[in-house]
Structure 1
Amino acid sequence: MTEGNFVDYVKIHIRSGNGGKGSAHLRREKYIPKGGPDGGNGGRGGHVIVKANKNLWTLFHLKFKRHIRAEHGGNGGKQNSTGADGEDQIIEVPLGTVIRDTETQKIIKELTENGQEYIAAKGGQGGLGNTYYKSSTNQTPRYAQTGMEGVERDITLELKVLADVGLVGFPNAGKSTLLSVITAAKPKIADYEFTTLKPNLGIVKYRDFKTFVIADIPGIIEGAAEGKGLGHRFLRHIERNSTLLFLIPADAKNIKREYDILLEELKRYNPELLDKDRLVAISKSDMLDEELQQEMNAELKNAFKNIPYLFISSVAQQGLQDLKDRLWSILNS
């Protein structure tokens, strides 16, 4: 899937169908001139339903659908005929989609399981026919109930990528290169910041035909939690990852400081992100000779006391199997 086809945020105006009118029909047949009421109830208006589909990866199919309306219920008829229910409108979305009320920005529902449904707008109830109002004291009611109106609202659909591992790092840290080497994904790679504008997913093949999913998320900058850079557009994708892989280049001025900044941005956005498992990978380590790597390793042991770290190089393909082993161990611990 190309980057332009990845859509993770859409706003939609939805409206459910009105309920059908109840019938006030009186039975009139040959030899039965006063047959009494026989008006049927109106049909229910169609619902607008949001449904999770595991075969979808993006909200691109909804990019140009700004208005979705369900069908109105049919009117009741004679001989106690109930009107047909209005046809429901089903909006299919990928797993990990969050439904918000656009006006209040409140989260209404999160869809994380295949086939899970949520009625975003209930169809109006059909009106009662005059048969319903028949009684011993009112044997010929000539009135029926009108159907209830449908619900009209604006909703926002946000996709939070479902992946086992989320790549976290500053722009140009080598996240896309790593993803392209250890998976079959083909993200855009270039020597400038914000090459990746949308999350990229890749499946890592592990030993004995086992696999796990890794997500390359656009780079973080200081102030991302307040919306700077790509801000909230990518931070929400990290919420769904069970493990966070921090990628810091070996040529960074201060590796521990960069890690602390990344951690602080995650904390300011959502403190619960700090509860996730973490692993630090020092990328581009092929530029270090053995002596320099040993010296850096000694410094990092003091800096990262309780945080596991390792040296890797995507270009030279160094330490990648060890990285897979560590991630697999964390995911299955």
Structure 2
Amino acid sequence: MQTDKVIIVTGASSGIGEATARLFAQRGWAVVLAARSVDKLQRIAEEIRSGGRVLVVPTDVTVQEEVTALVQRAYAHFGRIDVLLNNAGRGISGTVESLDLAQLEYIFKLNVLAPVAALQAVAPIMKQQNDGIIVNVSSLIEDIPVPYMSGYGASKAALGYLSDAAAIELDGFHIAVLKVLPGLTETNFDTHVLAADQAPALDELFGKVSLLDAVPPETVAEAIWNAVASRRRQSHVTTQGRFLGRAARLAPEMTNRLLKFAIKRYAPVAGPPRAASVGQDALKAGLALAGVLAGVSAGYLLYRRARRCHS
């Protein structure tokens, strides 16, 4: 069904961004595609144009002037902006003591400052419209101190805090600021992780303790669609992710102890450097360590439910 609604999608050239752009276009929305890869954006745009309206705006979101230009072009072309999806992002792996500060600065510029710049550019338009939705793609990792992914987790925690504050600040203008928190996703994200040091030998660990299943980007796109439809401030993509987030908030000390145990039990020794796979291993293993919390949180929630039923 055709609609006059418009969504801007950053990081639209692949993964979650591409899947979300396709989904909204299929459901009648006009889509503004933003990313650095012009060829990929044009390919996606050509496929979307057969059934929808699309605008391609090549953008480096780490450059504030380009972010401002993106929003202005989208508004000039379509005359409105209903949803901004801040999806562009990248990871970094390594222990805190080994993080390259220049790389960490870039991660914060991409994962934190770029979404803030986009919000600042689009908020005046949404205020004028007296309506709008800003969706920040965060991560399950924002609630959990995952070893070897501290730089990435810190950037997502910062984004989450800013999202929560902006949601309160902009609520009076009928602007919703939402967070969607995926866990492991079947995208090429892991191949773009900046590797700060040698990855621990965590492949075996991931196989032993992971309770998290990677989901396709289309599943995350559907979660984003549902978040927009409901204007729910925070959305987890899976039930497992929701359990993990609750466990980390309800029992932070237990969370830390379980993570320490998993490190000592399964990954006590650092392995040799693996250039191409280091980021992938660290990303998977980091969330795998958090996976041990799923059973604990589920049990805790069932215990509380039983207590309520018998009280």
Structure with greater helix percent: 2
TM-score by length of 1: 0.33
Structure of higher RCO (CA pairs closer than 8 Å, 6+ residues apart): 2
TM-score by length of 2: 0.35
Structure with greater strand percent: 1
